[in-house]
Amino acid sequence: MKTIILRKGKEESLGRFHPWIFSGAIHHTEGDAALEEGDIVEVLASDGRFLALGHWQIGSIAVRVLTFKRQKIDVAFWQKRLAVALDVRRAIGVAGREDNDIYRLVHGEGDNLPGLVIDIYGTTAVMQAHSVGMHVCRQQIAEALRKTMGESLHAIYYKSETTLPFKAQLGQENGFIWGESSDDVARENGLAFHIDWLKGQKTGFFVDQRDNRSLVEHYSKGRKVLNMFCYTGGFSVYAMRGGAELVHSVDSSAKAVELVDANIELNFPGDNRHEAFAEDAFKFMDEMQTQYDLIILDPPAFAKHKDALKNALRGYTKLNARAFEKIQPGGILFTFSCSQAVNKDQFRTAVFTAAAIARRKVRILHQLHQPADHPINIYHPEGEYLKGLVLYVE
Ligand code: SAH
């Protein structure tokens, strides 16, 4: 076994079950062969005490911890972790349902599987590695996944082309690693969606907005809805079911506009309350009229890293100010940030500034976050990323 020995005092965070070891904490490595990216390593304290087993990788996060016990990492290990993950999804009430077969089965550190994401879309699982270690273990994990899911699973699509470090030169390709899917339609709360795991963003769908989409449905009756940054149009489809008078969906990508149109047609064929526009959000909001009384702002992560924070906050303020300026009196604004680098308070301050710029009276009705199938490991607060506010604009 290859071994990593930590500098004195650097074992402290592992004592608090934090699942990452930064490269600066490492004193030296031991073993017969040189370390290779993706290797499973044993981590010892400076006094030789066993601390953890994890995946080693070049970069600032050097080890992602798999377990704090000495144990074998094999199919049985993965199967046990996946079984707990599935049990959690049953407890939440998103798995094992006729009308809902879209959910996140594995959310990385949140499910004690750092570097791994698995989303379920009907009979297809989309598996994504964010670490070289999970990439190396993909066949074992796929086998464990098949055993865990049984007959409900027909195919596993592996989608890690853009999520693995480019420099590792793993030659990773996207593709089915088991079975094949005959159907790209899956259901969320009784609504049907085409899922494009081949070319779509993330694993093909933004599973993390499920609960917030339901809340949009609740507020939509009789309203004129604007869904900015619509992507596959999840919010739009829920707004339609909620009884919106009209729904306009906007995304700068023409492909996204095709997807939203297809999803509306799938659920509400021939319904002309909906229209989609391929346009830049800022341009659209500058030019739009003031007819909307429910606006959803769900932009891409403005800050991917901490150094981009200031610009990101300015971006959120500018975007929200436009919405406050144009929304009808008595309107409802759903506004989100999925940037992990922006915390709840910073986001709220950005929105507060926007409200003040537009000089509107604004009440906070709901404070939103990621859903239960995107759990946060209590020892890994970095896992919190999605935040949102629902506001009543007088
Ligand atoms: N709300 C979506 C997810 C949004 S992802 C859902 O529930 O599924 C962010 C989307 O913003 C992407 O589809 C991307 O194409 C779009 N986007 C990025 N920059 C944009 C811009 N300047 N104007 C409009 N859309 C933009």
Q: What is the pLDDT of residues 124-139, one digit of tens each?
A: 999 999 999 999 999 9
Nearest CA to ligand 1 atom 16: 229
Residue 185 CA to its chain's centroid (Å): 20
Give distance in angstroms: CA of 48 to centre of ligand 1: 50
Mean pLDDT estimate for the chain: 95
Encoding tokens for residue 181?
Answer: 């899917």
Tell the residue number behind the tokens 């080693």, with chain if given: 56
Kindly give the number of the ligand 1 atom that is closest to the alpha carbon of 229: 11
pLDDT in tens, 19-68: 999 999 999 999 878 899 999 999 999 999 999 999 999 999 999 999 99
With a pLDDT cut of 90, the percent of the chain lying above it is 88
Which residues have a Cβ under 8 Å from the Cβ of 343 and sit 6 or more positions away? Answer: 387
Strands 155-158 and 116-121: unpaired
Give distance in angstroms: CA of 204 to centre of ligand 1: 13
Of 121, 252, 263, the one to substitute when testing ligand 1's pocket (max ligand atoms within 8 A of C-beta) is 252
Question: Which structural domains are found in the chain, ordered by start?
Answer: 2-67 (2.30.130.10), 75-188 (3.30.750.80), 208-393 (3.40.50.150)
172 pLDDT higher than 80: no
pLDDT in tens, 61-103: 999 999 999 999 999 999 999 999 999 999 999 999 999 999 9
3-state helix/strand/coil string of 270-322: CCCCEEEEECCHHHHHHHCCCCCCEEEECCCCCCCCHHHHHHHHHHHHHHHHH
Give distance in angstroms: CA of 253 to centre of ligand 1: 8
Q: What is the pLDDT of residue 49?
A: 96
Q: What is the pLDDT of residue 33?
A: 82
Strands 387-393 and 26-30: unpaired
Encoding tokens for residue 172?
Answer: 């990773």
Encoding tokens for residue 122?
Answer: 């009907």
pLDDT in tens, 286-316: 999 989 999 999 999 887 777 789 999 999 9
Identify whether 230 is a catalytic site residue.
Answer: no
- Residues lining ligand 1, Cβ inside 6 A: 206, 209, 229-232, 234-235, 251-253, 256, 280-281, 298-300
pLDDT in tens, 377-393: 999 999 999 999 999 99
Kindly give the number of the ligand 1 atom that is closest to the alpha carbon of 234: 7
